Structure 1
């Protein structure tokens, strides 16, 4: 069995190394692994363990066949660069031509390898960024079975044959739960926050070589402006080095860098009659690819500010990695409305439990709110939306009317619990890829066994 993998960073490579050891232990047949490391941190990990790995930027070949390949794959190329293209445009940059060239170079390098190696399985980290998208495209073309890997909610893992995020194959049966199943779910509901496990980086010793490759990875993601044209465009996130470094420092001492207005607006009382909106990181597949109704969180906040149900306040929870970093217009909207406040410093679970309604685009907070028996209104697409357990945005109706109706509506709690039980105990895999002590997902064995 020949398996090709794609990994991003050191923690991904560590987990895939663990999976590969587990696969070798499960199967007696001949096995070979072809690891593609997107960033140097992942490549360095594999090499330090004497594991074969190809670093993505060594996969670049001459583009002498550029025009021929572009004509052959033109429609596919536009789709392959889609996520990266949208990411750059969020920062006012158009990198489509460079991304097309990079996509062609990847295809020119990897297509002969797919033909020669005749892979059986691809285990892919996600399905949106350019290099994984190219590998997935070729896997489909050459009938290679694809297993998609993604971190799940509640410190779990998702492995799926169909995709990630809203594209997963999970389809709940909504069978009525037995008494023992109800008790099992209730036990999980009461204890899931106490099941936190130690992460590997707390004990991981970072020598000079590891630190160098981590820094190099950061440099490739956020290159200085004078280097951006010389470095691989698909590895760049959008921010330049100076801006990214400033944001990194700002994140570590965020309280000192927040404006007085933002700090002032965070004085919230959970005794208030409120609905809560949860923001996400804008440059993320969940928002870029799975948010058909809105182009920015500023747009969402603006519409929400005009649609607050009568007698209610709107609390807004920023993503912890993006506090104080959204568009300035978003903060102007919040600070000009006395009925809107930020709620970043209180307990997440308390904020959810005391709310009248949780509004999300497609955040994992949505599934946690369902677990905590709260009504959830979704603005985008997720694995838990449009399945009868959430209230979902209708772009044909005014938002204020929808929110008002949802507050007074009831949801079938038995249906929600059936959905949650099946999702948590049958679909999700135990363990998270960043845990210090990793857990081998039995589901992977089952997926491989079908091969």
Structure 2
């Protein structure tokens, strides 16, 4: 089996999948020189060094195709910069399309591994894989953090087929949820390797190895701050808020992440806050409840809130949820904690949670009436336990960081059969 990785997770998972698969060629195409730290025995290529050879082959039909492929970079330009991709961006992405297409054909690639499905290069690669019926696996940090990972043979988040698979009773191999995972993506060793990645990426940018366009430029200072928050100052994120009334709770997404830019009709968190607030205060039950928002832990933005709402920094644990009668979310992973309870959940983005008997999707124009219905207990959670068990034991891969049991790697490969 000839396997190609197009940018790995910030872990050796792609290398481990290659090592466990049947013999064949092993390749990686990278957007950054720094990502090479996650591979030990593959042929490495850096696509920024390869694209000039394809400039003369770009056609108007290909430009039209590329301009309509949804991805984080494209939607960031549309929703934040209020513009379409420019000529230089389109030509660069077209050259990548032609390079990647020629690579998988020339090397007879059987399987492509991608981390996330909405970075611009990954969305293009998936388009090509589908065109030539090449199998691919998308990796992403797990739903049940910090010890799980998602590996999907179609897509992740709202692009996943997990809802359909659950409803059709598709059987995955059950994970050994008792396995003792000792590493996470936030471990000291993971941060050590990530620091090497950051330093080598700076070098790669200087010598022309790194992609001209990226979904996000990582900085060392940003991750020093995040590491300190997660490992040294955890207690400072805890708040013992006292609530005098029952709560309608809204955990916000990280500003400008794919849940907002791709999987929702909102442009930013300001629109989410404004629409939920107005819908809540227009409903009949508003006088009986407090509307409480929580910012994503990594969000440093300042937002405008209606003076009647409250902001919390409380951990979303059982004690906090005892105060909550309804949760509204675009597609926050915090919803998973809520699905372990009987609290109704309304999603306002395209989400893996809006399964009948689990959670309910609502458009904004119907949100006010749906809030009323949910608070009057006209809400079914009959399928919730089964769905959580399915996500936890069958859909999730139990492993993270630098610790993936061999049985879990074999489970990943069996997805291909």
Same fold (TM over 0.5): yes
- Report the CA distance shift for 1:200/1:164 in structure 2 as closer, same or farther (over 3 A): closer
Query: Paired residue for 1:379?
Result: 348
1:123-134 equivalent positions in 2, closer than 5 A: 123-134=113-124
Is residue 315 from structure 1 mapped to residue 292 from structure 2 by the alignment? yes
1:56-90 alpha-carbon deviations (Å, 9 max, x no partner): 3233223541xx52313133211336420222455
Is residue 6 from structure 1 mapped to residue 6 from structure 2 by the alignment? yes
Are the aligned partners of 2:344 and 2:381 in contact in 1 as well (CA < 8 Å)?
no
Q: Distance in 2 between matches of 1:301 and 1:219?
A: 40
Q: Distance in 2 between matches of 1:61 and 1:73?
A: 16
Give the secondary-structure state (helix, strand or coil) at the position aligned to 2:242: coil
Query: Paired residue for 1:144?
Result: 134
Normalized per residue, which structure has more helix? 1
- Report the CA distance shift for 1:373/1:36 in structure 2 as closer, same or farther (over 3 A): farther
1:273-352 equivalent positions in 2, closer than 5 A: 273-292=246-265, 294-306=266-278, 307-308=280-281, 309-322=286-299, 325-326=300-301, 328=302, 330=303, 332-334=304-306, 337=307, 339-352=308-321
- Of 211, 214, 217 in structure 2, the residue corresponding to residue 235 of structure 1 is 214
1:171-186 equivalent positions in 2, closer than 5 A: 171=164, 172-173=166-167
- Report the CA distance shift for 1:218/1:369 in structure 2 as closer, same or farther (over 3 A): farther
For residue 217 of structure 1, report the CA deviation from its aligned partner.
3.3
Are the aligned partners of 1:358 and 1:377 in contact in 2 as well (CA < 8 Å)?
yes
Q: Distance in 2 between matches of 1:114 and 1:301?
A: 44
Q: Distance in 1 between matches of 2:324 and 2:41?
A: 52
Is residue 416 from structure 1 mapped to residue 414 from structure 2 by the alignment? no
Q: Distance in 1 between matches of 2:343 and 2:155?
A: 28
Q: Distance in 2 between matches of 1:284 and 1:20?
A: 29
Query: Paired residue for 1:406?
Result: 374
Query: Paired residue for 1:258?
Result: none
1:86-235 equivalent positions in 2, closer than 5 A: 86-89=75-78, 91-92=80-81, 94=83, 96-154=86-144, 155-170=147-162, 171=164, 172-173=166-167, 197-199=182-184, 202-204=187-189, 211=195, 213-217=197-201, 232-235=211-214
For residue 206 of structure 1, report the CA deviation from its aligned partner.
7.9
Q: Distance in 1 between matches of 2:322 and 2:243?
A: 9
- Report the CA distance shift for 1:197/1:116 in structure 2 as closer, same or farther (over 3 A): same
Query: Paired residue for 1:429?
Result: 397
Q: Distance in 2 between matches of 1:160 and 1:231?
A: 27
If the length of structure 2 is used for normalisation, what is the TM-score?
0.81
- Report the CA distance shift for 1:69/1:346 in structure 2 as closer, same or farther (over 3 A): same
Q: Distance in 1 between matches of 2:370 and 2:342?
A: 20
Query: Paired residue for 1:180?
Result: none
Query: Paired residue for 1:268?
Result: 241
Is residue 33 from structure 1 mapped to residue 26 from structure 2 by the alignment? yes
- Report the CA distance shift for 1:123/1:437 in structure 2 as closer, same or farther (over 3 A): closer
Is residue 77 from structure 1 mapped to residue 66 from structure 2 by the alignment? yes
Give the secondary-structure state (helix, strand or coil) at the position aligned to 2:254: coil
Q: Distance in 1 between matches of 2:188 and 2:263?
A: 36
Give the secondary-structure state (helix, strand or coil) at the position aligned to 1:282: coil
Structure 1 residues not aligned, in runs of 5+: 176-187, 255-262
Which protein has greater RCO, CA pairs closer than 8 Å, 6+ apart?
2
Are the aligned partners of 1:268 and 1:341 in contact in 2 as well (CA < 8 Å)?
no
Query: Paired residue for 2:335?
Result: 366
In angstroms, what is the RMSD of aligned CA positions? Answer: 3.6
- Report the CA distance shift for 1:93/1:347 in structure 2 as closer, same or farther (over 3 A): same
- Report the CA distance shift for 1:139/1:252 in structure 2 as closer, same or farther (over 3 A): closer
Give the secondary-structure state (helix, strand or coil) at the position aligned to 1:321: coil
Q: Distance in 1 between matches of 2:322 and 2:17?
A: 37
For residue 108 of structure 1, report the CA deviation from its aligned partner.
2.8
Q: Distance in 2 between matches of 1:368 and 1:268?
A: 19
